[in-house]
Amino acid sequence: MWDRNEMAARAAKEIKNGMYVNLGIGIPTLVSNFIPNNIDITLQSENGMLGMGPFPTKQNVDPDLINAGKQTITELKKTSYFSSADSFAMIRGGHIDMAILGAMEVSEKGDLANWMIPGKLIKGMGGAMDLVSGVKRVIVIMDHTNKKGESKFLKECSLPLTGKSVVNSVITNLGMFEINKEGVRILEIAEGSTVDDIKKSTEAHIINL
């Protein structure tokens, strides 16, 4: 089984030199820790920044410089700043190569639910709906099952959708999966996990199982 860092490390392998990438809140934020030095990428933060640097030291904290998770951040030599309208022109216009984000549920058709639980959790979609509909490739990182042990990788999502047929790849604690027109395919099984573990924890139909 992969832990949070191993899932993030697996996602990092999908990032190629020169890409513009948007990382969501939570485990996706960890992905930047696993990008090799010889790979040069540009991180976009949808509140209006390209070229996001690491978190600041105590002396370098700047309240005017935050990421989309509202965390304090630093700039790089190549950084640019812009308005929210320009930021989402990049996103909606298909200029961002990859978005990596978390999920509550993913369906076998690539539907994604990650923004609300009716009656319980009403936080909002933020930029997630724009990202999944506009970015070239969408990778989800999530635990394969919820706290009750129920599958989060489903035939149909039960929660309100963030996007329909938008997820291209899913990385969970059990492995990595690809979703295309034919269906869901296992690409890689996490060390210490088995095909049986995946079978037991997956409601979605997997075509190469």
Partner 1 sequence: MEKVFQSAEKAIRELIFDGMKIAAGGFGLCGIPEELIDALKVSGVKNLTIASNNAGVDDFGVGLLLQTKQVKKMVSSYVGENSEFMRQYLSGELELEFTPQGTLAERMRAGGAGIPGFYTKTGLGTVIAEGKEHKDFNGQTYILEEGFFADLSIVKAWKGDEEGNLIYRKTARNFNPVAAMCGKVCIAEVEELVPIGSLDPDNIHTPGIFVNRILVGKHEKRIENRTLSE
Residues numbered 98 to 117 that lie near partner 1 (CB under 8 A) are 111
Q: Is 13 helix (H, G, I), strand (E, B) or coil?
A: coil
For partner 1, the closer CB: 114 or 201: 114
Please identify which of the residues 6, 14, 46, 188 carries the catalytic annotation.
46
Residue 143 to residue 132: CA distance in whole angstroms? 19
Q: Is 76 in the site for partner 1 (CB under 8 A)?
A: no
Contact 169, 175 (CB under 8 A): no
Residue 117: half-sphere exposure toward Cβ, Cα within 13 Å: 5
- Give yes or no: 46 in active site: yes
Shortest approach of partner 1 to residue 155 CB, angstroms?
16
How far is residue 34 CA from its own chain's centroid? 15
Q: Is 84 in the site for partner 1 (CB under 8 A)?
A: yes
Shortest approach of partner 1 to residue 88 CB, angstroms?
3
What is the residue whose two structure tokens read 């009716």? 118
Q: Is 28 in the site for partner 1 (CB under 8 A)?
A: no
Please identify which residue in 72, 76, 178, 183 interacts with partner 1, judged by CB under 8 A. Answer: 72
Residues numbered 135 to 194 that lie near partner 1 (CB under 8 A) are 160-165
- What sign for the dihedral angle of Cα 108, 113, 118, 120? positive
Q: What is the DSSP string of 87-136?
A: HHHHHHTT---EEEE--SEEETT--EE-SEETTTEE---TTHHHHHHHSS
Choices 34-42, 48-56, 141-149, 179-187; region in contact with partner 1 by CB under 8 A: 48-56
The residues of the shown chain that bind partner 1, judged by CB under 8 A, are 45-49, 54-58, 61-67, 69-73, 75, 81-85, 87-88, 91-92, 111, 122-130, 133-134, 160-165
Active site members: 46
